[in-house]
Chains A and B, each alone.
Chain A
Amino acid sequence: MFKEGMLALVGQGFIETIYMTVISTVLAYVIGLPLGLILVVTDKDGIHPISWLNKLLGLIVNFFRSVPFLILLIALMPFTKAIVGTVIGSKAAIVGLWVAATPFVARMVESSLKEVEVGVIEAAQSMGASPFQIMTKVLLPEAKPSLLVGAAISITTILGYSAMAGIVGAGGLGAIAINYGYYRGQNDIMYVMVVLLAIIVLVFQELGMRISKHTDRRL
């Protein structure tokens, strides 16, 4: 089934997939975490309501979330070129993944933070905590288990996106599945890639859940 060099190819694809997924997840959180925080804090029921900012950010997030990933990837090409100097390969795909994943992450973070009991936030306010102290000392630490579960969901979603990025020559297991499996009709290779991708998803998901559960003090 596997021709010579196939194993090395799969190995490289595996590394590319992990590389793209992890880097773009991290980047997505760099923007998405503060963005999610701002969405919660500036909400009309939040600790520091700023209606116009909340609406504006909500609109931007919804806009980017509504564009299908493949179209976003192509539409972003000029932006991608300006940032990483190329529109093909893993590096270019990371830019697209990052832009696509950030609003997703922001919404995940937002929903995790909204799980924090209002009463706990009020208790902190009654002690004279500032909005910033509430963010860093109440919202984020109290939502940590939920944020970790959210991170596991985010990373597996981004992994799914990264497989699609194979279309723009991004490399990775998804690209191998498309190039060898689909275009050349080697179904066996496609199935192997699908199984491999599924295993990675399972591992990330399980890992995230376990860390979350292990560090949650409510249990």
Chain B
Amino acid sequence: MSEKDTMIRLEGIKKRFRTKAGELEVLHGVNADIKKGEVFGIIGLSGAGKSTLVRCINLLERPTAGKVWLDGVELTALPEKELREQRRHMGMIFQQFHLLMQRTALENVCFPMEISGVPKAQAKTKALELLELVGLSDRTDSYPAQLSGGQKQRVAIARALATEPKVLLCDEATSALDPNTTAGVLSLLKDINERLGITIVVITHEMSVIQEICDRVAIIDGGLIAEEGSVEEIFRAPKTKIGQELVMHEGSNREAYTGKLPYCYRLVFNGGKENEPVLGEMMIETTGVVNILAANTRTIDGQDFGQMVVQFPEEKELREKMIQYLRERGVVVEEVEYV
């Protein structure tokens, strides 16, 4: 990848916090290149360091070591005042919205423009445009307390776009929203990415969010990037244990499963195949049954993907027969640890 295609470059980012219990290193040297115009996801379980990482991008948190570049400018080398200028190129939205509670939606969107010295009338025109973009033209004079969670996040998005940033950082932006509202906000983000060409960095613990809008994804675990690739790649064949876990369990309720189940396999049905009852036919053909542990279907880049985690029978011969049957019909079968 050439230098000028890179929007954000992270190089050896380390972050240590001083706690009462002593020094705690949360990030152990993270490297990443985020391309211009892409939607880049960073996924991890809670405590993996993903929020710290995104806060290191705009230096809300100063890395203990390492360098951050934004569009060719090394942010970590800038003095405070110039850093503030550069931050205007990066909008940020948060899980808890963080709107100014004593200002209306319109005044909230005007706020970053006030800070950067945009004339009042011009700021107001721009703010009204942005509120229209996020679908809140009718709520411009409402205070945040009068808005729903989804509406608040829309105001926050409009506010983050007010300074016409190159990058939008989303820190668990949909984690406080219900599934319907989440879908609305995600499609708005996708739309912003496509229409305005803004690079978006999404931090989340939900694989579904990544699949919904991201082009590429990095899986962060224990303060390091475990694996990185296109969303399709990662979803189809996660290489690391943490990757498999996130893809299978979506990073949620993993505490619900205790103990390791034997003979677990992950099946991936590529494009269209799930309309044929492959699994059912296999069970009739082989006269053996499988135990379905998890299943879901998704659309990634317009292609349908179905995945299942199943437990095959203990009898080796039967199990192998089943696997062969499925593989012959284009199903990806891989043994996994289902914990």
Contacts and interface: CB of A to CB of B under 8 A. Distances in A.
Contacts of B145: 217-219
Contact of A126 (B81, B92, B102, B144): B92
Nearest to A130: B84
B313 interface: no
A124 B91 CA distance: 10
B100 A142 contact: yes
A124 B115 contact: yes
Given A138-B100, A217-B103, A218-B143, 6 more contacts: A122-B94, A125-B60, A128-B88, A128-B163, A137-B111, A142-B101
Contact of B88 (A124, A127, A142): A127
A218 B102 CA distance: 7
A198 interface: no
B87 A144 contact: no
Contacts of A133: 115
B96 A119 contact: yes
A141 B98 contact: no
B85 interface: yes
Query: Which of B81, B84, B99, B144 counts the most chain A CB atoms within 10 A?
Result: B84
Nearest to A118: B98
B136 interface: no
Q: How large is the interface on B (under 10, 10 to 19, 20 to 34, 35 or more residues)?
A: 20 to 34
Contacts of B58: 126
Q: What 10 pairs between A and B have smallest CB-CB spacing?
A: A128-B87, A123-B98, A128-B84, A119-B98, A127-B112, A217-B143, A126-B92, A128-B88, A218-B145, A129-B115
A128 B94 contact: no
B230 interface: no
Nearest to A219: B145
Given A128-B85, A218-B145, A117 B102 contact: no
Contact of A120 (B84, B98, B115): B98
A119 B94 CA distance: 8
Contacts of B98: 117, 119-120, 122-123
Contacts of B102: 141-142, 144-145, 216-218
Contacts, number: 75
B49 to A, nearest CB: 18
Interface in A105-150: 117, 119-120, 122-130, 133, 137-138, 141-142, 144-145
Interface of B: 58, 60, 81, 84-88, 90-92, 94, 96, 98-103, 111-112, 114-116, 143-145, 163, 169
Contacts of B100: 120, 138, 141-142
Given A128-B85, A133-B115, A218-B145, A141 B99 contact: no
Contacts of B91: 126-127
Interface residues of A, number: 23
30 contacts: A117-B96, A119-B94, A119-B98, A120-B99, A123-B94, A123-B98, A124-B115, A125-B60, A126-B87, A126-B91, A127-B87, A127-B88, A127-B163, A128-B84, A128-B87, A128-B115, A128-B163, A130-B81, A130-B115, A133-B115, A141-B103, A145-B102, A216-B102, A217-B101, A217-B102, A217-B103, A217-B143, A217-B145, A218-B101, A218-B143
Interface string A206-219: 00000000001111
Contacts of A144: 102
A129 B144 CA distance: 21
B100 to A, nearest CB: 6
Given A125-B60, A128-B87, A137 B101 contact: no
Nearest to B104: A217
A145 B92 CA distance: 27
Interface in A7-22: none
B1 to A, nearest CB: 27
Interface in A177-219: 216-219
A137 B107 CA distance: 11
A123 B144 CA distance: 15
A219 B101 CA distance: 10
Contacts of B116: 127-128
Contacts of A128: 84-88, 112, 115-116, 163
Nearest to B163: A127
A133 B116 CA distance: 10
Contacts of A122: 60, 94, 98
A217 B102 CA distance: 5
A137 B102 CA distance: 11
Nearest to A140: B102
Contacts of B114: 137
A117 B97 CA distance: 11
Nearest to A216: B102
Contacts of A127: 87-88, 91-92, 111-112, 115-116, 163
B92 A123 contact: yes
